[in-house]
Chain A
Amino acid sequence: MNFTSTFSQRVSRPANTSAQQQLSSGQISFLVIAASLLLVGLIMGISPLTYLMVGVLLLSVLYLVQMGFNIFLLYSASLKGAISDYAEEVAALDWGTLPSYAVLVPLYKETAVLKQLVINLSNLNYPKARLTVYLLLEGDDTPMLEAVEAMTLPSNFRKIVVPVSHPRTKPKALNHSLQFVEADLCVVYDAEDRPEPDQLLKAAAGFLNSPPEMICLQGKLHFHNPNFNWLTRFFAAEYAGWFTLVVPGLARNGLLLLLGGTSNHFRMQALRDIGAWDPYNVTEDADLGVRIARAGLKVKALDSVTWEEANARPWSWVKQRSRWIKGYMQTYLAHMRNPLRLLRELGLARFLAFQVMVGLGPYINMVNPLFWLLTVVYFITRSGFIEALYPGPVLYMAVIAASLGNLIAIYMSLTGAMVQGEYGNIKHMLLSPVYWSMMSVAAWRAFRQLIFNPHHWEKTQHGHEPEVVPAATSAPALAFAASGGWRGLDTSDVRVDKQSVAEPVAQ
């Protein structure tokens, strides 16, 4: 069955925001006119130095804007109501009428973590009759298909095979699955995810106690391996800072909430209604967050953790980050095809948040090295040319942005490590600029890919370093593990934690 045709009959996209097309004709015209005007200015005698001064001025203002936005988020995140675990609402849940839940897990070349995945998802504390786990398998991923085939999966697990077609992306697989999935709520997890067992209950309670326009809850993603090496220390702190400061800060103010790739829970009908995921966008989650906001719907932050594996290898990390940044660039271009309509649909505050996070973020990473270089060269040479780029007020703005802006950015990493309780890593966060330099490499790589290979999805390999041995902590998981449920797979490292096995839930 051709999903695209089927699906497009069921939903209508409010605006053409697909990243299938990179630049609209209007955007191309805008770029051409802007370049022409710059060229005309040069011909008419405006000096290149003037251009550089204006460029430095604009960038200094943008740096300040980003700094102010970070301060705003830090402050907002410290206020009550920024994030909720719905503890009282969970306690009041009626187990007999819980909504049906679908767990969607796109899998591609993930045999290394498959058994962990089954245990982790079996540990979810939710009535089995109301919960179905869908493993989304690629049609040409033979090892994965064989591995799943070799397993005796728990009874509420299903597999969906995604036919081979382009683009080869995770959102395409997710969209494909929607034609087979019927449930009230759904959530997306990655292969290596280990969600907190009560996460579905919290999310269900959250949906039950929220107005219908709140269609998505974003869980917190933390890494289980922050101390694996220097890279994971930074990565884990950055993630923790994002989900502890940025996401709650955005959610509290009703601003644009860019979804993380996993642990986002949806009301399924609403998800279908807004067009589900864009298969051509390599950060389909961020794009979906924008489209939810454009539709006048809301996302909230859920205080429940999903543990993931931090990418521990520098080049693999760069590739993964390149995809994320490229996706932001795609998302920006896609939604800025009609800026006035975007402004009207988002409202001013969320429009500005979109400009800062999606528009500014990737490019700041690209220009950072330039300004670092300028600073170093100036202090070595005291160059008059560099001084000329920074007339009085611009200098003040640049100094404030460079000092306070960077300090705040480092502080967010410090807070990330503090939130995780990884106290030993806090001192390492003082060296965050080293990590940022890798982001800059990734940003330039993303920019190049945006031009030459925009829809290429760079797969992040998981399971490369020792995971915490998964423990079966729920009755279904225990039963699965005790049955020796998987054939042909090494199960020697599966730990059955009988002490902490939960009582069977009421169904």
Chain B
Amino acid sequence: MLQQLDIMPSTLSARQRPRSLDKTPDQWLRWILGAGIVVSILSFIYFFQQGITTDFYDAGARMLITRRVVDSPTPGLAQLGAVWLPLTHIAALPFIGIDWMYQTGIAGSLVSMASFVLSLYFVYRLSTLLTEKRAAGLVGVLVFVLNPNILYMQSTPMTELPMIAMAAGGCYYLTLATRNPDKRRWYLWSGVYLALGSLIRYENWIILFAAVPLLIYSFARRRFAWARLEGTLIYWGYWAFFGIAAWLAWNLLIFGDPLYFQRGEYADPSNWVFEGSQVVGNFPMALMTYIFAILSTVGPMLIAAIAGIVIYLARTRLRADSVMPFLPLALFPFFVLVVFVGQRPLDVPQITGGVYNIRFGLIMSLPVAVFAAYLASQHRFLIGTVGAAAVISAGVLVGTLGIITTEEARIQVNPDQVAAGEWFADHYHGEWMLLESFGNDIFQHTAGIRLSHVIYEGTYQTWELALAEPAQWAEWVVMRPAVGQGQPADKLWRTYHDDPGFHQDYELTYNNPGLEIYRRRPASQ
């Protein structure tokens, strides 16, 4: 009997089973991702050749922080500090030890470029999920990829693209979760993406928090019993809030205060209260400021997206399975609010005349792409129309405002620190130096100094000892005087500039309005 059983063929082999259309590999997606990689590389080469991929102040600073994990008197993950969220730095770690990758910022640009391709993947997935049309998904990708500001930011070591990629992943999987609430894997993956995002930018925290009421709404519309609602929410939130919990724990373990990133001596400057702008306290002005920031960075496709949102709302009527695509829009009221209360400065040419932080508007490119795709899906004619509009929108952007994020980066170039760094690179031979790193990042990055011989506020006890007796420790001392609003003198300038004892030991060898470089007198060794 058993022998008979053993040779009996399968009643229905895998090959015979009908394949669902949904399971077939999406050839479009392969082409889109392939093209995305090519676009990413070409864009990087274009901006790199212009020498502007590290123009943002933060670009050099982020490279410096990452490098210190492997190159510092006290190397280790603690060097990631508590000023900025750490994930993009950790992602750049495999490349940061290679000098030219560190110096050129490519170590960080690679992270942005990979995030760009990942963003494309999710824009396509989310668009096709909502529209059930691959052509509409392609339109969404076009809207996203034809934005020159996106192409520039993906070439820099900044965090905009990683942030968008993680938000897009979280949004996509949460949309799947609200459509199939019994599928556990969607809670896991949405949670993972949102958690990773929360370790990249604090704005992702807002998206994460906004997901909670949206999930509750979706579950309530499905008439989940309380126990199921609560249990599912905990199951999802377990990983989703892991990033925030880990960051608070990190701050507690390393710096003794879970909110050190907010309350510490070197808290993220983007959290500083910014007063004096004409938009602070003026809600209509704050609202218009952020809308102009979106228009300046995303372009006229914003109008198509608004039309798409209206149609989507009318068709889906806030059903339980339709609310999650709105998740990235949570950042819209958030930015309006923070501009209104003066929590963050934001300048737009149309109102305040500047461009500082205008890249905040770029974050809306994700929902703009998805809802423009939704608009395109409404009629065959609209597919081509919206696609063509994306091309025209890119032309309008470049033709009117230029690639405005490059302008924002350009004004952040610190010529004093760059000049000092270039001078120092010619006079430095690996000696020990003392400086306050915070605020002097560009000097250090430009000078290409040997970070393992730099004593700064992140070298713990050595920092305190060296501050007390600099001549015992450092050949070079670099200090920064006050430079305009928001750039106060650093700790070394405040400590030593008027200290005669210090000047007995050190002589000024280089200075410009933004930086002073001292060298130890031979007799003081």
Residues of A participating in the B interface, judged by any CB pair closer than 8 Å: 78, 88-89, 92, 99-100, 184, 207-209, 211-212, 267-269, 392, 396, 403, 407, 410-411, 414-415, 417-419, 422-427, 430
Q: Interface code B92-128, partner A: CB below 8 Å = 1, 0 otherwise? A: 0000000000000000000000000000000000000
Q: Which 10 A-B pairs have the closest CB atoms?
A: A423-B231, A212-B6, A426-B231, A424-B227, A92-B11, A423-B228, A423-B227, A209-B10, A426-B234, A88-B12
Query: Shortest distance in angstroms between B101's beta carbon and chain A's nearest beta carbon?
Result: 23
Chain B residue nearest in CB terms to A408:
B239
CB pairs A–B below 8 angstroms (7 shown): A184-B5, A403-B246, A403-B249, A410-B238, A411-B239, A414-B235, A418-B231
A78 with B11, Cβ < 8 A, contacts A417-B231, A426-B235 known: no
Query: Shortest distance in angstroms between A189's beta carbon and chain B's nearest beta carbon?
Result: 22
Q: Say if the beta carbon of B76 comes within 8 Å of chain A.
A: yes
Chain B residues with CB under 8 Å of A392's CB are 76
Chain A residues with CB under 8 Å of B8's CB are 208-209
Query: Shortest distance in angstroms between B159's beta carbon and chain A's nearest beta carbon?
Result: 23
Majority SS of interface residues in chain B? helix
Q: Say if the beta carbon of B1 comes within 8 Å of chain A.
A: yes
Quick one: which of B279-321 are within 8 Å of A by CB? none
Chain B residues with CB under 8 Å of A267's CB are 2, 5
CA–CA, A255 and B242, complex, Å: 31
Q: Is the CB of A100 within 8 A of B1?
A: yes
CA–CA, A426 and B233, complex, Å: 10
CA–CA, A494 and B300, complex, Å: 73
Q: Say if the beta carbon of B223 comes within 8 Å of chain A.
A: no
Chain A residue nearest in CB terms to B246:
A403
Q: Is the CB of A99 within 8 A of B5?
A: yes
| Partner pick for B230 among A88, A184, A422, A423, CB 8 A cutoff | A423
Majority SS of interface residues in chain A? helix
Q: Is the CB of A411 within 8 A of B238?
A: yes
Further 7 A-B residue pairs, CB within 8 A, beyond A423-B231, A430-B238 = A207-B5, A267-B5, A403-B249, A418-B184, A419-B184, A422-B231, A426-B235
Quick one: which of B1-32 are within 8 Å of A by CB? 1-2, 5-12
Chain B residues with CB under 8 Å of A92's CB are 11-12
Q: Is the CB of A424 within 8 A of B231?
A: yes
| Partner pick for B184 among A212, A415, A430, CB 8 A cutoff | A415
| Partner pick for B235 among A88, A403, A418, CB 8 A cutoff | A418
CA–CA, A178 and B278, complex, Å: 90
A99 with B1, Cβ < 8 A, contacts A411-B239, A418-B231, A424-B231 known: yes
Chain A residue nearest in CB terms to B224:
A423
CA–CA, A88 and B77, complex, Å: 54
Q: Interface code B250-264, partner A: CB below 8 Å = 1, 0 otherwise? A: 000000000000000
CA–CA, A411 and B237, complex, Å: 11
Chain B residues with CB under 8 Å of A184's CB are 1-2, 5
Q: How large is the interface on B (under 10, 10 to 19, 20 to 34, 35 or more residues)?
A: 20 to 34
Query: Shortest distance in angstroms between B4's beta carbon and chain A's nearest beta carbon?
Result: 8
Chain A residues with CB under 8 Å of B238's CB are 407, 410-411, 414, 430
Chain A residues with CB under 8 Å of B231's CB are 417-418, 422-427
Q: Say if the beta carbon of B185 comes within 8 Å of chain A.
A: yes
Q: Say if the beta carbon of B232 comes within 8 Å of chain A.
A: yes
Q: Is the CB of B11 within 8 A of A89?
A: yes
Chain A residues with CB under 8 Å of B232's CB are 418, 423, 426
CA–CA, A27 and B162, complex, Å: 53
Chain B residue nearest in CB terms to A392:
B76
Q: Is the CB of A427 within 8 A of B234?
A: yes
CA–CA, A268 and B184, complex, Å: 37
Most buried by B among A208, A211, A392, A410: A208
Chain A residue nearest in CB terms to B8:
A208
Query: Shortest distance in angstroms between B507's beta carbon and chain A's nearest beta carbon?
Result: 38
Chain B residue nearest in CB terms to A212:
B6
Query: Shortest distance in angstroms between A73's beta carbon and chain B's nearest beta carbon?
Result: 14
Query: Shortest distance in angstroms between A427's beta carbon and chain B's nearest beta carbon?
Result: 6
Chain B residues with CB under 8 Å of A407's CB are 238, 242
Chain B residues with CB under 8 Å of A410's CB are 238
Chain A residues with CB under 8 Å of B6's CB are 211-212
CA–CA, A161 and B34, complex, Å: 70
Query: Shortest distance in angstroms between A400's beta carbon and chain B's nearest beta carbon?
Result: 10
CA–CA, A422 and B12, complex, Å: 35
CA–CA, A396 and B230, complex, Å: 34
Q: Is the CB of A269 within 8 A of B5?
A: no
Query: Shortest distance in angstroms between A258's beta carbon and chain B's nearest beta carbon?
Result: 24
Query: Shortest distance in angstroms between A75's beta carbon and chain B's nearest beta carbon?
Result: 10
Most buried by A among B2, B5, B6, B76: B5
Quick one: which of B208-257 are within 8 Å of A by CB? 225, 227-232, 234-235, 238-239, 242, 246, 249
Most buried by B among A208, A269, A415, A423: A423
Query: Shortest distance in angstroms between A245's beta carbon and chain B's nearest beta carbon?
Result: 10
CA–CA, A396 and B75, complex, Å: 13
CA–CA, A392 and B6, complex, Å: 56
Chain A residues with CB under 8 Å of B76's CB are 392
Query: Shortest distance in angstroms between B51's beta carbon and chain A's nearest beta carbon?
Result: 36
CA–CA, A212 and B7, complex, Å: 8
Chain B residue nearest in CB terms to A207:
B5
CA–CA, A392 and B9, complex, Å: 57
CA–CA, A415 and B242, complex, Å: 16
Query: Shortest distance in angstroms between B40's beta carbon and chain A's nearest beta carbon?
Result: 28
Quick one: which of B70-85 are within 8 Å of A by CB? 76-77
CA–CA, A242 and B230, complex, Å: 23
Query: Shortest distance in angstroms between A74's beta carbon and chain B's nearest beta carbon?
Result: 8
Chain A residues with CB under 8 Å of B230's CB are 423-424, 426-427
Query: Shortest distance in angstroms between B140's beta carbon and chain A's nearest beta carbon?
Result: 27
Chain B residue nearest in CB terms to A81:
B14
Chain B residues with CB under 8 Å of A411's CB are 238-239
Chain A residue nearest in CB terms to B9:
A209
CA–CA, A422 and B232, complex, Å: 10
Chain A residue nearest in CB terms to B4:
A97
Q: Is the CB of A396 within 8 A of B77?
A: yes
Query: Shortest distance in angstroms between B466's beta carbon and chain A's nearest beta carbon?
Result: 22
| Partner pick for A78 among B5, B10, B185, B227, CB 8 A cutoff | B185
Chain A residue nearest in CB terms to B239:
A411
CA–CA, A207 and B10, complex, Å: 10
Chain A residues with CB under 8 Å of B77's CB are 396
Query: Shortest distance in angstroms between A88's beta carbon and chain B's nearest beta carbon?
Result: 5
Most buried by B among A89, A92, A426: A426
Chain B residue nearest in CB terms to A91:
B11
Query: Shortest distance in angstroms between B95's beta carbon and chain A's nearest beta carbon?
Result: 19
CA–CA, A208 and B246, complex, Å: 50
Chain A residue nearest in CB terms to B189:
A78
CA–CA, A419 and B229, complex, Å: 15
Chain B residues with CB under 8 Å of A419's CB are 184
Chain B residue nearest in CB terms to A79:
B185
Query: Shortest distance in angstroms between B70's beta carbon and chain A's nearest beta carbon?
Result: 12
Query: Shortest distance in angstroms between B234's beta carbon and chain A's nearest beta carbon?
Result: 5
Chain A residues with CB under 8 Å of B185's CB are 78
Q: Is the CB of A414 within 8 A of B5?
A: no
Q: Is the CB of A208 within 8 A of B234?
A: no
Query: Shortest distance in angstroms between B461's beta carbon and chain A's nearest beta carbon?
Result: 14
Query: Shortest distance in angstroms between A424's beta carbon and chain B's nearest beta carbon?
Result: 4
Chain A residues with CB under 8 Å of B12's CB are 88-89, 92
CA–CA, A209 and B230, complex, Å: 42
Chain A residues with CB under 8 Å of B228's CB are 423
Q: Is the CB of A430 within 8 A of B234?
A: yes
Chain A residue nearest in CB terms to B229:
A423
CA–CA, A207 and B3, complex, Å: 11
CA–CA, A99 and B77, complex, Å: 62
Q: Interface code B49-72, partner A: CB below 8 Å = 1, 0 otherwise? A: 000000000000000000000000
CA–CA, A425 and B227, complex, Å: 9
Chain A residue nearest in CB terms to B1:
A184
Query: Shortest distance in angstroms between A78's beta carbon and chain B's nearest beta carbon?
Result: 5
Q: Is the CB of A208 within 8 A of B184?
A: no
CA–CA, A267 and B234, complex, Å: 43
Query: Shortest distance in angstroms between A200's beta carbon and chain B's nearest beta carbon?
Result: 14
Chain A residues with CB under 8 Å of B9's CB are 209
